[in-house]
């Protein structure tokens, strides 16, 4: 029966569809003909939909296409196959019935209707919400201006609830253990990125209009924090595959920080179960941010051990979670050591500061070990931490030289 089993990650494909007039931009197709932004892409995970084994049973040559209008994300569903099993004992999976539980019911299976939707969206779709920031490539291609707008939404934003019901599918497909959030929890906040293009208008009254294409989004939930503040927890963060690896994740993360920096009611930004990839993005951007804010502070320049009272005051002022702030301080101290290579006492002081944090963080486990075993375990943990810090420092060196992905962009007036 194995010939009737298809890997659902391979059988399912998605595509962000633009109006044909929007598909010939040079920075979309690339000078070498790279059409990544226009081509189908596969999900990373499908187990929330098709089960833990990520298989679909009952078909040969199966292809499940979910095309989406690149702006509004309105869906077109196509299910094709060479052969379907004919058995009442082991019937084929009801693919459309399964998907129906996860996508809005107003999708279409008519290709012509979908093409008309894409064309209409190109002229009329506008992102929901308030535009709070924008950025653009440092080097624009002549006659092809593009910018990326960041829009703030809540459940009360007109049109957003319907849009989110389509966008949330990406959470299941690209975030491990991702799940849909409850719409009856009114406090959720969202930031979305849309690519903005200037295009020729089909209207007789205007020469140009703008078309918008969804890039990704972040959701955050506020928790009450004594006495009268909130702790904002970043919950879901996704950049769509055609836009990954280009620095958009960093732009969205930094936009969130800029957005909360001036909000007096927000005392701290925390992250819910970050993946390793997101942890790296977070660390690189936090390091860059704190370099600018604290790089010349006398408390850090003096080296380890850094005054604990100063760190706590500064952490609260900058709204960082405690563990993350202490980690970034440690990375900055390690970075300073390259200027003190002939000072073993400075390295020892840093090592002791890091080990103290590690001991406190892992106290319940370490306190049960014998002293010699505890020292060995702490040293092993420290060595791994230092190695990871050095890796992060190496990955951020390109920021200063302008060769990094985040160095491709500049913030512009929203």
> Active-site residues: which are they?
272
**DSSP letter string over 265-286?**
TEEEEEESS--HHHHHHHHHHH
Residues 45, 174 contacting (CB under 8 angstroms) = yes
Query: How far apart are the two ends of the chain, measured CA to CA in Å?
Result: 57
Q: How far is CA 261 from CA 28, 265, 268, 285, 309, in A?
A: 34, 10, 9, 15, 21
CA-nearest of 46, 99, 58 to 82 is: 58
Q: Cα torsion at 79, 81, 85, 91 (round to 10°)?
A: -20
Quote the DSSP letter at residue 41.
Answer: B
Tokens of 33: 């003909």
CA–chain centroid gap for 62, Å, is: 30
Q: How many residues does the chain have?
A: 414
Residues 190, 164 contacting (CB under 8 angstroms) = yes
Sign of the dihedral defined by the CA atoms of residues 166, 230, 411, 286, in that order: negative
Q: How far is CA 272 from CA 232, 241, 315, in A?
A: 10, 22, 19
Quote the DSSP letter at residue 92.
Answer: P
CA-nearest of 13, 12, 96 to 54 is: 12
Q: Are strands 189-200 and 63-69 parallel, antiparallel or unpaired?
A: unpaired
**Known binding residues for acetyl-CoA:** 237-239, 244-250, 284
Residues 357, 315 contacting (CB under 8 angstroms) = no
Q: On the CB side of 396, how many CA atoms lie within 13 Å of its CA?
A: 23
Bridge partner list, 136: 410
d(CA 19, CA 21): 5
Phi and psi torsions of 310, nearest 5°: -65, -45
């Amino acid at each position: 029966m194995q010939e009737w089993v298809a890997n659902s990650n391979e059988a399912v494909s998605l595509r962000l569809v633009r109006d044909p007039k929007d598909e010939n931009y040079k920075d979309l197709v690339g000078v070498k003909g790279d059409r990544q932004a226009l081509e189908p892409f596969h999900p990373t995970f499908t187990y929330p939909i098709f089960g833990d084994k990520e298989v679909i049973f009952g078909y040969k040559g199966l292809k499940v296409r979910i095309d989406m209008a690149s702006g509004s994300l309105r869906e077109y569903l196509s299910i094709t196959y060479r052969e379907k099993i004919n058995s009442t004992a082991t019937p084929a999976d009801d693919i459309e019935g399964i998907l129906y539980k996860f996508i809005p019911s107003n999708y279409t299976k008519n290709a012509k209707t979908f093409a008309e939707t894409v064309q209409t969206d190109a002229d009329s779709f506008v992102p929901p919400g308030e535009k709070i920031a924008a950025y653009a490539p440092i080097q624009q291609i002549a006659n092809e201006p593009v910018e990326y707008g960041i829009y703030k939404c809540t459940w009360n934003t007109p049109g957003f609830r319907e849009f989110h019901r389509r966008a949330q599918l990406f959470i299941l497909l690209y975030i491990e253990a991702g799940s849909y959030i409850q719409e009856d929890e009114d406090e959720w906040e969202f930031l979305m990125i849309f690519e903005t293009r200037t295009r020729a208008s089909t209207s007789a009254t205007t020469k140009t209009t703008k078309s918008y294409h969804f890039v990704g989004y972040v959701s955050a939930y506020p928790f009450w924090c004594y006495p009268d503040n909130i702790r904002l927890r970043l919950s879901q963060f996704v950049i769509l595959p055609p836009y990954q690896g280009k620095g958009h994740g960093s732009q969205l993360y930094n936009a969130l920080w800029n957005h909360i920096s001036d909000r007096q009611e927000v005392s701290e930004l925390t992250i819910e179960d970050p993946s390793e990839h997101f942890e790296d993005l977070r660390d690189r951007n936090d390091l860059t941010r704190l370099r600018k804010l604290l790089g010349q502070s006398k408390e850090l320049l003096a080296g380890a051990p850094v005054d604990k009272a100063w760190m706590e005051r500064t952490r609260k002022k900058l709204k960082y979670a405690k563990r993350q702030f202490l980690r970034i301080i440690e990375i900055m101290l390690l970075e300073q050591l390259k200027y003190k290579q002939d000072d073993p006492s400075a390295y020892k002081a840093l090592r002791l500061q890091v080990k103290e944090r590690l001991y406190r963080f892992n106290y319940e486990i370490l306190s049960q070990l014998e002293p010699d075993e505890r020292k060995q375990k702490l040293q092993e943990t420290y060595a791994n931490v230092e190695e990871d810090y050095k890796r992060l420092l190496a990955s951020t060196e390109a920021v200063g030289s302008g060769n990094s992905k985040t160095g491709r962009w500049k913030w512009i007036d929203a």
